[in-house]
Amino acid sequence: MLWFIVSLFVLIGLGLIGMSTYVGWRLTHPIRKPVDETPEQYGLQAEAIRFPSRMGDVILQGWFIPATQTESSMTLILAHGYAGTRLEKGLPALAFAKSLVEAGYNVVMFDFRNSGESEGHLTTVGYLEKEDLLGAIDWVKEHIPGKIGLIGFSMGGSTSILAAAEESAVRGVVADSPFSQLSPYLQANLPVWSKLPRFPFTPLILAILPRLIGIHPHYVDALTAVDRVYPRPMLFIHSEDDSAIPWSNSEAMWSRHPDAFEMWITQKAAHVGSYKLHPDAYTKRVLAFFSKL
């Protein structure tokens, strides 16, 4: 009987570890979504571009969309969210990009590694994606004269903060629905993504992940990075009804330097849903932010 009980517990433990490993693998290797829309469908003229991540380990695919009617003095790089593509269909990003180019800004849209049409087989929710965004910044610096701004959504918002902290060429950042620190965020909210009960799966997955991919989530720390972005301006946009990433994440980063940072809290919008709910107000606020730069 004792042998049976011990064996049963061992089998249950192995099952929990096996399931946690599988889910951790799926979270870091999400199924790619297609890039199935084009700028031309929105009346935009775009140039297909490709460039290496700053690390040089993957080649990334994207679009350069020049400002209409006038030569622009600023290029805005859009950074998409987890398991998405440059289309960021929740907005949708191409409709937003159309407003930006019509207002006189160049726009760069691209797929992070392991997303869309870009190379790579691993998603790290900000750690390596920061290098991808720095690669996009390098491409703009080489090919397009003028200032650079970043607009990121969810994971892309946090990644934009991390990249700006390392790249002085970035003049300002708009972060829509970012998380502040990946490790504590996952400890509190992993069930949103894993679809598994918090106990025992969250601690198991978080213990397995660093060994599985060789990267610890605590290295993805936008909360600390904002201190290196300051005194450059940032605009945080977040819905107080965001069930995926609580708006307190943006508040924590904004409150570090409210003299230079701005925050717009919306209501009744889903995660990265403020543009969809308030497209005109959203666009005006973003354009007003970059006009000051």
pLDDT digits (tens, 9 = 90+) for 43-92: 999 999 999 999 999 999 999 999 987 788 999 999 999 999 999 999 99
Tell me: do 227 and 169 sit in the same domain.
yes
Tokens of 14: 């192995």
% the chain with pLDDT above 70 = 99
SS3 289: helix
Same-domain pairing of 65 and 137: yes
Same-domain pairing of 212 and 128: no
| Residues in CB range of 162: below 8 A, 6 or more apart | 126, 130, 133, 220, 221, 222, 225
- pLDDT score recorded for residue 212: 87
Domain count, the chain: 2
The string over 47-58, giving b where at least 16 C-beta atoms fall within 10 Å of a residue's C-beta and e elsewhere, is eebebbbbeeeb
Q: What number of H helices and E strands is found in the chain?
A: 10, 8
Q: Which helix (H) or strand (E) holds 10?
A: helix 2-28
What pLDDT shows up at residue 59? 98
Q: What is the pLDDT of residue 5?
A: 79
Per-residue model confidence as pLDDT tens digits over 239-260:
999 999 999 999 999 999 999 9
Q: Are residues 21 and 115 in the same domain?
A: no
User: Shortest CA distance to 244 belongs to which of 173, 194, 207, 202?
Assistant: 194
Q: Give the type of residue at 177.
A: S
Q: Is pLDDT of 1 > 90?
A: no
Where is average pLDDT lowest: 6-10, 136-140, 162-166, 184-188?
6-10
pLDDT of residue 127 exceeding 80: yes
Which residues form the domain of 12?
1-30+184-218
Are 210 and 75 members of one domain? no
Q: Let me know whether 60 and 23 are in one domain.
A: no
The last residue of one of the domains, among 165, 194, 218, is 218
Instruction: Tell me what the mean pLDDT of segment 93-102 comes to.
Output: 98
Claim to verify: residue 59 and residue 135 sit in the same structural domain:
yes
129 and 158 in contact (C-beta within 8 Å)? no
CATH number, domain containing residue 241: 3.40.50.1820
- pTM metric for this prediction: 0.96
Number of Cβ within a 10 Å radius of residue 123: 22
173 and 188 share a domain?
Answer: no
What is the reported pLDDT for 3?
A: 83
pLDDT one-digit tens code per residue, 2-47: 787 777 777 888 888 899 999 999 999 999 999 999 999 999 999 9
Q: Pick from 145, 177, 43: which is nearest to 97 by CA?
A: 43
Decide if pLDDT at 130 tops 80. Answer: yes
Q: Are residues 58 and 123 in the same domain?
A: yes
Angle at 108 between CA 27 and CA 166, to 5 degrees: 70
Q: Give the helix/strand (H/E) hosting 14.
A: helix 2-28
**Whether the Cβ atoms of residue 49 and residue 63 lie closer than 8 Å to each other:** yes
Return the pLDDT at 201: 93
